[in-house]
Amino acid sequence: MRIATGQFAASPDWEPNLDRCRSLAARAAAGGADLLVLPEGVLARFTEDRHRIREVAQPLDGPFVTGLAEATRGTDTAVVVGIHEPSDDGRVFNTLVVLRGGALVTVYRKLHLYDAFGDRESAHVRPAEEPPVTFDHAGTRVGLMTCYDVRFPELARLLADDGAEVLALPAAWVRGPHKERHWEVMIAARALENTCWVAASGECGPRNIGNSLVVDPLGTVRARLGAEPGLAWAEADPEFTTAARASLPVRANRRFAVDPRVHAPGAVPAGPAAVGA
**Half-sphere exposure of residue 195: CA atoms within 13 angstroms, side-chain side:** 20
Residues 21, 40, 193, 196: which is the catalytic one?
A: 40
Task: Residue 120: count other Cβ atoms within 10 Å of its Cβ.
Answer: 12
Residues 85, 110, 165, 196: which is the catalytic one?
A: 110
Helices (H), 61-111: 63-71
The length of the chain is 277
- Examine the residue annotation and report whether 147 is marked as an active-site residue of this protein: yes
Distance separating alpha carbons of residues 83 and 158, to the nearest angstrom: 23
DSSP code of residue 205: S
- Examine the residue annotation and report whether 110 is marked as an active-site residue of this protein: yes
Residue 50 CB burial class (10 angstroms; 0-12, 13-18, ≥19): middle
Residues 147, 196, 203, 204: which is the catalytic one?
A: 147
Integer CA distances (angstroms), 121 to 27, 96, 116, 133, in order: 32, 16, 9, 21
Distance separating alpha carbons of residues 232 and 212, to the nearest angstrom: 8
- Examine the residue annotation and report whether 21 is marked as an active-site residue of this protein: no
The residues carrying an active-site annotation are: 40, 110, 147
